[in-house]
Amino acid sequence: MPTTKKTSSKSAKSAAAKAPAKPALTGLAAYFDEALFLPELKSKNKAEAFEEMVDALCATLGKQHKQTLLSMLHHREMLGTTGIGRGVAIPHGRTLLTRHLRVVFGRSNTGIDYGARDSEPVNLIFLVVAPFQDRGNVYLPTLGKLVELVRAKPNRDKLMEIETFDQFVEALSAPTA
């Protein structure tokens, strides 16, 4: 191997060693990912929003799964809305298509026609997918934590204001209602 390469490899290693390691996300934040953080949804209705958010999910899970994931979400909506009111929706479902629980966060500043319980437009969407074999039993508790988080108006307001993923992670650790 040429000496120059050795040097650059060494300096890269040393730079990496000096760079502060990003701490692993914990708590509720552990289920989120910067690639699944969509603070500017363009969608106007529920079907479009699902599509936009599932596209982000499929970048990780595989594009071939898009239709299967979308139909899974629409089946849930057939049985009742996941728009829980106050501008929040938490579409969810178990699927074979993921090994771990994942959450996509989407925000619409203009509001989405979602058919929520209170008939109000939805601004904040947390799309939750969990594996069928939920060995750690985290699915329902995670849904519960998300519901608790958004029950408090200050938390919803904060989620409407944040601009970066780091701010979002911080908002997730806010006290619940």
Partner 1 sequence: MEATLQILLEIQHIDQRLSELDNPEHVLQFEKLGFQWQPEHRQQLIELRAKRAAQIDAELLAHYQGLKERYGAAIVPIDGGICLGCFMMIPTAWVQDIRQSLSVKTCGHCGRILFWVG
Residue 176 binds to partner 1 (criterion: CB under 8 A): no
**Per-residue contact track with partner 1, 116 to 155, x per CB under 8 A?**
-x-------------xxx------x--xx--x--------
Q: Which is nearer to partner 1, 93 or 121 (CB)?
A: 93
Of 50-69, binders to partner 1 (CB under 8 A) are 60-62, 64-65, 67-68
Give, as ranges, the residues between 13 and 52 that touch partner 1 (CB under 8 A).
none
Site residues for partner 1, window 89-118 (CB under 8 A)?
90, 93-99, 117
User: Minimum distance from CB of 146 to partner 1 (Å)?
Assistant: 9
Report the 3 state secondary structure along 30-93.
HHCCHHHEECCCCCCEHHHHHHHHHHHHHHHHCHHHHHHHHHHHHHHHHCCCCEEECCEECCEE
CA distances (Å), origin 53, targets 1, 60, 66, 128, 157? 45, 12, 10, 10, 21
Q: Cβ distance 108 to 43 under 8 Å?
A: yes
- Cα dihedral 81, 165, 148, 153, rounded to 10, equals -90
**Spatial distance between the Cα atoms of 62 and 17, rounded to a whole number of angstroms:** 33
87 forms part of the interface with partner 1 (CB under 8 A): no
Query: Rule CB under 8 A: which residues touch partner 1?
Result: 60-62, 64-65, 67-68, 71-72, 75-76, 78-82, 84-85, 90, 93-99, 117, 131-133, 140, 143-144, 147
